[in-house]
Structure 1
Amino acid sequence: MLRKRKLARRSARQIPYYKRPNWRVTNHPNPAVSIIVPAMNERNTIKGVLYEAHRVHPRSEVIVVANGSTDGTESLARRCGARVIAVAEPLGHDVGRRVGAEAARGQILLFIDADMVIPARELRPFVKAIHGGVDVALNDYSGPMAGREVHPVVLAKFSLNAMLGRSDLKGASLTAVPHAISRKAIESIGYSALEVPPLALAIAVLRGCKVKAVHAIQVGRINPIKYKNRRADPLTSLIARDHLEAVHRLILEQGPRGGYGDLGRRRDKVR
């Protein structure tokens, strides 16, 4: 009998905590950190995502923006105790981040995706950076660069950062999760800009926000299916256009040369 009890306890320990039937998220009534999780048909991963998210900070809330889901993601997230904002129709790429940000109560907003279970220990550096004075804490991951050709999205990220005078960021971008933003910075950037991550990054730099790549998480390894056929990724053209929108904003605010000088050219002498 004693041996059976020991085996039963050992078997229970082997079951991931978030897969146990009575596990629930505990949202703090006065959260310091809001973790925002857009989700569309992510039933297979949502419990693991929520479990790791709620462990990031003792005073946290987890907000799931369930949009266009038909697989029970919304109801499962509710049963897990998360705050759920449900929208019947798909919101489109990145719109869920704005919806979640507008509903958040914390002074630090951490953005993750519902299709990747990232351990809490890997998420805490982003929160810690904002708590230490950073306004925008980026994933210090530049994207896949091992191939013979540079992926268009990677090239767009490097190019935009160079135009913003932030080549030190390399390919770090608000396009990639995880990332965190202070409440003060979001109010300066504008909630609507969160729908276009490169634009939000450009505005943050133009507004003088402290932007820093704080911790590297290679999301391609965590979610390899998403990047397996990245040349055929339908989001490539969308993300490229988002970067062009960011460049347009830079030109509007800093002039046609984006704030750069003319290197001593005397154009007034040209007839």
Structure 2
Amino acid sequence: MDSFSTERPELSVVIPLSGDGKGLLLMLDHLNHLTQSVEVILICPPMPRFSGPQTHAPWVRIVSDERFHTYDEGRAIGACHAKGESVLFLDERVVIPPLLLKAYMTALKNGADVVVTMAGTSGANRRNGVLPNAYRLLNHLLGRADLGAGTMSRVPYGCSRKALGVLGCESLATPPAAFVKAVLEKLVVVGVEPKPALQWEKGAAYPLKKGKHRILRDHAVAIQLLLQRLGKRGGSPDGDRYRSLLHVPGTLHLRSVYYQPPREDRGGSRDGKRKKKSAKGRRKKT
């Protein structure tokens, strides 16, 4: 394992912490065998009782910061400290198997700018839950329905050095908005499906976790950003409508808004049909 002082490690891993992290040592052991050049950045609030894994001190850095109140904000801070060519964002509440970690890293090596987790995990993110549907809706609006429920609102996810430069580290505090920006800027976004599903630790002992309403609000911010870039119709054409006429006083102009040109094969209009009928009637009388 290379020293932490490596100028540009192959991989940076950011893990925000609210406590000592029950599975942290196991997670670090997995990362130790992932690549020969890795740095791990642990973001934690100032707490005297926190003791970092001293055995991994050469390549693990503990950043104490009181400015973050959620895991997403912690990841945004960690991204600012990351030096690696690729940055992988993990969580203290789940231990990622080595093969899955390798899949994210391989995708970034093969040219992906952003790698997201596609499948739902056991328990909280069920297929028909509110949050997965919000993830799918955003992907549909972005024209990336192929990603299913893939999202940066759920870890693991990874970014290349190029992606961080385009998105800005601070944008990671609101992952759906960062995701919208990544797609609009035409970054290469791919999905990884964890099999089997990740097993998250349950419990109320994680104060940095965002609630469902906060996550949905983040998605509202992302959709607002998308509309600002594409327009109210999401980039779709407005057809032959003349919406400016709606601001004209009076009501007669509405005929012009909804007017449809007559079809010649049907006599041109209702009046045309009446004229044809009356003409036939006159012929019969004569």
Change (3 A) 1:69 1:167: farther
Q: Within the alignment, does 1:121 sit opposite 2:136 as a pair?
A: no
Query: Could you tell me how far 1:71 is from its partner in structure 2?
Result: 4.8
Q: Larger Cα Rg: Structure 1 or Structure 2?
A: 2
Query: Could you tell me how far 1:150 is from its partner in structure 2?
Result: 2.8
Kindly report which structure 2 residues correspond to 1:116-195, keeping only aligned pairs within 5 A, or say none: 116-142=94-120, 150-195=128-173
Change (3 A) 1:245 1:148: closer
The corresponding residue for 2:180 is: 202
The corresponding residue for 1:112 is: 90
Q: Within the alignment, does 1:33 sit opposite 2:11 as a pair?
A: yes
Q: Within the alignment, does 1:76 sit opposite 2:52 as a pair?
A: yes
The corresponding residue for 1:53 is: 31
Does the CA contact (< 8 Å) of 2:167 and 2:178 recur in 1? yes
- C-alpha distance in 2, partners of 1:241/1:223? 23
* Higher mean displacement: 137-146 or 157-166: 137-146
- C-alpha distance in 1, partners of 2:99/2:89? 15
Kindly report which structure 2 residues correspond to 1:184-263, keeping only aligned pairs within 5 A, or say none: 184-216=162-194, 221-225=198-202, 235-262=211-238
The corresponding residue for 1:270 is: 257
Query: Could you tell me how far 1:91 is from its partner in structure 2?
Result: 3.0
* Higher mean displacement: 203-212 or 141-150: 141-150
- C-alpha distance in 2, partners of 1:104/1:68? 20
Aligned alpha-carbon RMSD (Å)? 2.8
Q: Percent of aligned pairs with the same residue?
A: 28
Change (3 A) 1:26 1:121: farther
Does the CA contact (< 8 Å) of 2:2 and 2:37 recur in 1? no
Does the CA contact (< 8 Å) of 1:36 and 1:65 recur in 2? yes
Change (3 A) 1:170 1:148: closer
Relative to the length of structure 2, the TM-score reads: 0.75
Query: Could you tell me how far 1:142 is from its partner in structure 2?
Result: 3.8
The number of residue pairs the alignment matches comes to: 239
Unaligned runs of 5+ in 2: 244-255, 259-286
